[in-house]
Amino acid sequence: MVADSPPEGLAKADILAEDEAATARLGEDLGLALAPGDLVALSGDLGSGKTTFARALIRAFCDDPALEVPSPTFTLIQAYEDGRFPLVHADLYRLSAGDLDELGLEDALEKGAVLVEWPEHGGDRLDSAQIRIAFSPGQTPLQRRIGIEAAGDAAARLKRSFAIRGFLDGCGRRNAARRHLQGDASARRYETVAAGGERTILMDSPARPDGPPVPRYGKSYSKVARLAENVRPFIAVGTALHSAGFSAPELLCHDIDNGLLLIEDLGRTGITADGAPIADRYGHATDCLAALHRRRWQRELPLPDGTPYLVPPYDAAAMTIEVELLLDWYAPFVTGARFDAAIETEFRQLWQARFDALGAAETGLVLRDYHSPNLLFLAGRAGIAKIGLLDFQDAVIGPTAYDLASLLQDARVTVPETLEAELLDRYLAARAADPGFDRDGFTAAYHVMAAQRATKILGIFARLNQRDGKPAYLAHLPRVRTYLQRALRHTVLSDLAVWYEQYLPGGGTPG
C-alpha cells in the first residue's frame, strides 16, 4: 500500500491487488470496518473489479461465504439484513441523478450502510460519500489498481482494519478469512480468523485515552475503579491463568503497543440455554472459582517483553466510585432528579463502613466479570479446565467473594434463589478444608459484594441507556433489583437495607 500525503482528515491509499483473491480480501477488510451511516462509492469501468470487491465485502459482512450476491444492475438495489446492521447494494448504471430519490438511499443510510456502484450517475448527490474507491486495470490481466479515499471516522476505521490485516500476515495468518464476532459492552472488538484449517480469535483493543477527572477523586473513573486501559493486564493475567491450568485462551501472537492480540478460540458453548442457567455447568463454574480462590497469586505478573504487570488492589475507593454510579445515573433515571446532598452523604458513609469491614475478608485474584457472557463450557476438558475464561483484563486483588456473587447473581441470566443457595453451599463445602477459610466471614462478604455489584450494575445499565443510547440493557434492571433485595436481607447489610427501602423502595422503578 502506498499512501499519499492527504489533506487533514482525509486518508488516501493506492493499492495494487495482484489477483482476484487480493481484491476480495480488500473487500473483506472494508466490510469489517463498515459502520451505520457509511456511504461507499465504487467507481470504475466494466470488468475493473467492482463486482469481485462488492461480493467479498457483502459475504464477509453477512458472515456467509456461500451467500448469493447478485449484481443489482437490473434490480437497482439489493438489501441484506443478516449482518451487524442493514446493508444496501445499489447500482446506478441505468439511472440518472433525477431518479435517485426513488431508491430510498437516504432512508437506508439512517438504518445502516450503502454500497453504490457507478456513483457518477448520481451527479453531486453522492459527493458526501465517506469512502470512495476507484478501480482500474493493472499491468497484468488479473491485477487491479484500487484507489481509496476515506474521510473522518471512516478513515480511522479503514486504517485500523488494514493494520489488523498486516498484523495477521505477520502472525503467519496470511490471506486469513476475517469475520466479525459479537463482543460485549466495552470498546473492544473481536473477529474470528480462519487460516490453514485453524480458527483463532483476534482481539482489537487499542489503548484508550484517559477520561476526565472525577471531581471528588481528582482522577479519571477508570483509574479510580482500576479498569484496564490497554492490553497489558489481559496478557499478564491470561498468561498466569493459562500457566496454572485454567482455560484462559492461549496467547498466540501480540502487538502490545497497537492493542492487537491473536488468541486461542475456545468455542461458543456457554453455560446457559434459552436464557436460563444450566445447573451442572454453573456447578463446574463454581468449582473453578473455588480452585481459583484456593491458589495464592502473585501481584506482580510477567509480560512477554520482560516487564512486570502489577495487579491493582480492589480498594475502598474503587468500590465506592462504582456504587456511586447509582447516585449519578440510576437514581436520577428512576426518580427524575439527584438525591439531596445529605442523602448521598449517608449512602457513602453506610457503604464506607461496609468496605472498612471487608478488611478482614479473604482476598485474592478477582477476575471481576465472572458471569455467563464470559464463561464457556469445554466438555472435552477435565476439572478446572472445563470452564473457559474470556474476560479478565480488569482483574484485581480484592475480596474473593465478589466473583462468586458475579456468577450466582448473574446480571444477564435469572439464577433462581434455590440454585443460588445450592451453589453457594457447594462453594463453601469445596473450601471447607482450606487452611484459614472462614465460612461465616466469607458468607457475609458474599452478600456485601453481591449488593455492591448489583448497585453498580443498576448505575451502569442506566448509563448505557442514557449516555450511550443502548436501551436494551434496561430489560435487565428488574432482575438486578431482585438480586439487590436478596443480598440486602443479610444482617450485615441491615443499615443499608433501610436506606434503599427509604429512598429506592423495591430497588426503584422508573417513574
Query: What's the confidence (pLDDT) of residue 184?
Result: 60
**pLDDT above 70 covers what percent of the chain?**
95
Q: Is 377 helix (H, G, I), strand (E, B) or coil?
A: strand
Among 76-85, 186-195, 244-253, 501-510, name the one with the lowest average pLDDT.
501-510
Residue holding cell 480498594?
Answer: 315
pLDDT digits (tens, 9 = 90+) for 403-428: 999 999 999 999 999 999 999 999 99
Residue 1 has pLDDT above 60, yes or no: no
Domains annotated for the chain, with CATH where assigned, are 10-175 (3.40.50.300), 269-507 (3.90.1200.10)
Among 150-159, 217-226, 274-283, 408-417, name the one with the lowest average pLDDT.
150-159
Residue 1 CA to residue 23 CA, distance in Å, equals: 13
Residue 366 CA to residue 313 CA, distance in Å, equals: 10
Q: Which residues pair with 80 in a beta bridge?
A: 87
**pLDDT above 90 covers what percent of the chain?**
79
Which three cell numbers mark 428? 463453601
Distance from chain centroid for Cα 462? 18
Average pLDDT over every residue of 417-443: 97
Average pLDDT over every residue of 226-249: 97
Average pLDDT over every residue of 301-328: 96
Query: What's the confidence (pLDDT) of residue 438?
Result: 97
Residue 378 has pLDDT above 80, yes or no: yes
Decide: 343 and 349 in contact? Cβ < 8 Å. no
Residue 195 CA to residue 176 CA, distance in Å, equals: 5
Residue holding cell 500500500?
Answer: 1
CA distances from 366 to 237, 289, 290, 360 (A): 11, 10, 12, 16
pLDDT confidence tier of residue 203, bands split at 50, 70 and 90: very high
Query: What's the confidence (pLDDT) of residue 98?
Result: 60
Q: Is 75 helix (H, G, I), strand (E, B) or coil?
A: coil
Query: How much is the mean pLDDT over the chain?
Result: 92
Decide: 505 and 331 in contact? Cβ < 8 Å. no
Q: 10 Å Cβ neighbour count for 37?
A: 15
Nearest to 478 by CA among 447, 507, 449, 448: 507
β strands within 390-460, DSSP E = 396-399
Residue 460 CA to residue 454 CA, distance in Å, equals: 10
Query: What would the 3-class secondary structure string for 204-273 be?
Result: ECCCCCCCCEECCCCEEHHHHCCCCCCCHHHHHHHHHHHHCCCECCCEEEEECCCCEEEEECCCCCCCEE
Phi-psi region of 350 (alpha: psi -120 to 50; beta: other; left: phi over 0): alpha
pLDDT digits (tens, 9 = 90+) for 33-69: 999 999 999 999 887 888 889 999 999 999 999 999 9
Residue 452 CA to residue 447 CA, distance in Å, equals: 8
Query: What's the confidence (pLDDT) of residue 354?
Result: 97
pLDDT confidence tier of residue 3, bands split at 50, 70 and 90: very low
Q: Is 16 helix (H, G, I), strand (E, B) or coil?
A: strand
Task: Give the single-character DSSP code of 326.
Answer: I
Residue 132 CA to residue 129 CA, distance in Å, equals: 6
Q: Is the dihedral of CA 64, 65, 68, 71 positive or negative?
A: positive
pLDDT digits (tens, 9 = 90+) for 265-311: 999 999 999 999 999 999 999 999 999 999 999 999 999 988 999 99
Average pLDDT over every residue of 429-456: 97
pLDDT confidence tier of residue 437, bands split at 50, 70 and 90: very high
Residue 238 CA to residue 262 CA, distance in Å, equals: 13
DSSP string, 152-181: HHHHHHHHHHHHHHHHHHHTT-TT-EEEEE
Query: What's the confidence (pLDDT) of residue 183?
Result: 66
Distance from chain centroid for Cα 304? 24
115, containing H or E segment? strand 113-117
Query: What's the confidence (pLDDT) of residue 185?
Result: 55
202, containing H or E segment? strand 198-204
pLDDT digits (tens, 9 = 90+) for 110-139: 999 999 998 888 777 788 889 999 999 888
Q: In degrees rounded to 5, what are phi and psi of residue 405?
A: -65, -40
Query: What's the confidence (pLDDT) of residue 330?
Result: 97
Q: 10 Å Cβ neighbour count for 80?
A: 20
Which three cell numbers mark 165? 490485516
Q: 10 Å Cβ neighbour count for 274?
A: 5
* Cα within 13 Å of Cα(293), Cβ side: 31
Query: What's the confidence (pLDDT) of residue 186?
Result: 65
331, containing H or E segment? helix 331-335
Query: What's the confidence (pLDDT) of residue 8?
Result: 42
Q: Cβ neighbours of residue 13 under 8 Å, at least 6 residues apart?
A: 1, 2, 3, 4, 147, 148, 162
Average pLDDT over every residue of 387-407: 97
Entry pTM: 0.90
Residue 189 has pLDDT above 50, yes or no: yes
Q: Which amino acid is at 485?
A: Q
443, containing H or E segment? helix 439-466
Nearest to 490 by CA among 441, 448, 431: 448
